[in-house]
Amino acid sequence: MKITDLELKCFIKRIEKKYPNKISCFFYDKKNLQGEYRKLGHALKWTWKIIDELCHDDEIQNFYIRLHKFHNWYIIRIGGNGKITFKMEKSMYEISGENIIQILNSENKEFIITASYTEL
């Protein structure tokens, strides 16, 4: 097991322990993230802040997370059931800082967040 894989498994366990029954799946591409230990740690801290914000709303349930890398960018997709409120959306934009984040709500009370993190 490579260091990146271990770090991701620990990250997933932390989420599952703090927020049981909230996250249905966590997808990541081991090959794509390999050798990115230091930078990945920063991306995971940033992702944790977004997840933390989501999990404080009882209406948000059963969501998935997908993490992969494209050039110097970490792409995080989070989708699930519930509606992202304006207050939560504003908070996520503040968390994202200069990184890119897009938040979409559907009429069926489903949401998707696409965020890009880089240290450039």
Q: Which domains does the chain have, with CATH numbers?
A: 3-117 (3.30.565.10)
User: Is it the case that residue 2 has pLDDT exceeding 60?
Assistant: no
- Residue corresponding to tokens 């990146």: 4
Q: What are phi and psi of 72, to 5 degrees?
A: -95, 10
Enter the pTM of the model.
0.81
pLDDT digits (tens, 9 = 90+) for 61-93: 788 999 888 888 888 899 988 888 888 888 888
Report phi then psi at 96, rounded to 5.
-70, -25
- The first and second tokens of residue 87, run together, are 């207050």
* 61 three-class SS: strand
On whether the CB atoms of residues 47 and 14 are closer than 8 A, the answer is no
Grade residue 120 by pLDDT with cuts at 50, 70 and 90.
Answer: low
Decide if 100 contacts 72 (C-beta within 8 A).
Answer: no
